Amino acid sequence: MNSYVDVDTLGDLRPISSCVLSLGSNLGDRLELLSSAVEALGDTPDLIVVNVSPVYRTTPVGVGEEHGEFLNIVAIVETTMQPETLLDRVNAIEHAYGRVRWEPSAPRTLDIDLITMGKHRLETPRLTLPHPRAHLRGFVLVPWHDVEPDALLGDHGRIARLLDGLDVSGVSRTDLVLDK
């Protein structure tokens, strides 16, 4: 069943999509950057932050230790935006907090990935939904499991089951708390 919200004065109804966003940082004041990003998401028209996971410390994936540990969270949001509009918004937030895209696995002040967006299935040059590597990433699945333990990831199934077969030794929950 879809939820709908009246979003304009003409009475047009647009569906609400529940979305999973993965946020990470390994440069600068990582905790402050994550807090600021969640606040910026909350300030976004047509988007509501529903839940945010605890903060996790994670080792970098696909790069050497010299890149530094990440802090990672998952945010559950609801929006009436279209997928590429949401992607534009998260890219603008990344840019506002100093993200420079010069190398795919380079250290970054802020990285926000759109993991799922309702039942949307999409493959464009800019965006694939669900995220094509989320089922392999402990830094996504572990925090997501904290806020939605029964969640499904597209054709891959329940995230709890995916975690059973994944090495998550580089993912550890912290006592850090986001400013709200």
Phi first, then psi: what are they for 88, rounded to 5°?
A: -60, -40
pLDDT value at 7 more than 60: no
What is the distance between the alpha carbons of residues 11 and 109, in angstroms, rounded to a whole number? 40
pLDDT surpasses 50 at 6: no
Does residue 33 contact residue 95 with C-beta atoms inside 8 Å? no
Please state the pTM of the whole predicted model: 0.89
Tokens linked to 34:
């994550």
Domain assignment present for residue 163? The answer is yes
Q: What is the pLDDT of residue 93?
A: 96
> Is residue 14 among the annotated active site residues?
no
What separation in angstroms does the CA of 142 have from each of 36, 40, 89, 123, 149?
A: 22, 23, 25, 25, 9
Pairing of strands 157-158, 152-153: antiparallel
Total of domains in the chain: 1
Among this protein's residues, is 113 annotated catalytic? Answer: yes
Q: Are 76 and 20 in contact (CB under 8 A)?
A: yes
What is the per-residue burial (b if ≥16 Cβ within 10 Å, else e) of 55-93?
bbbbbbbeeeeebebbbbbbbbbbbbbebeebbebbeeb
Query: Would you say residue 74 has pLDDT above 80?
Result: yes
Q: What is the CATH number of the domain that holds 46?
A: 3.30.70.560
pLDDT of residue 159: 96
Type of residue numbered 138? G
Catalytic residue (choose from 30, 89, 108, 137): 108
**Residue 178 lies inside a defined structural domain of this protein:** no
| Domain of residue 118, residue span | 3-173
Question: Angle, nearest 10°, between helix axes 30-42 and 83-96?
Answer: 140
180 within a domain of the structure (yes/no)? no
Residue 79: inside a domain, yes or no?
yes
Of the candidates 30, 89, 99, 137, the residue annotated as catalytic is 99
In this structure, is residue 52 part of a structural domain? yes
Q: Is residue 116 part of a domain?
A: yes
pLDDT tens digits, 20-50: 999 999 988 999 999 999 999 999 999 999 9
The yes-or-no verdict on residue 55 having pLDDT over 70 is yes
Q: Is residue 104 part of a domain?
A: yes
pLDDT over threshold 50, residue 9: no
Higher pLDDT, 180 or 81: 81
Given 111, 137, 173, 179, the catalytic residue:
111
From the candidates 113, 133, 158, 175, give the one annotated as an active-site residue: 113
Tens of pLDDT, residues 107-148: 678 999 999 999 889 999 999 999 999 999 999 999 999 999
Cβ atoms of residues 159 and 151 within 8 Å: yes
Concerning whether 111 is annotated as a catalytic residue, the answer is yes
Query: Does residue 14 sit within a domain?
Result: yes
How many percent of the chain have pLDDT more than 70?
Answer: 84
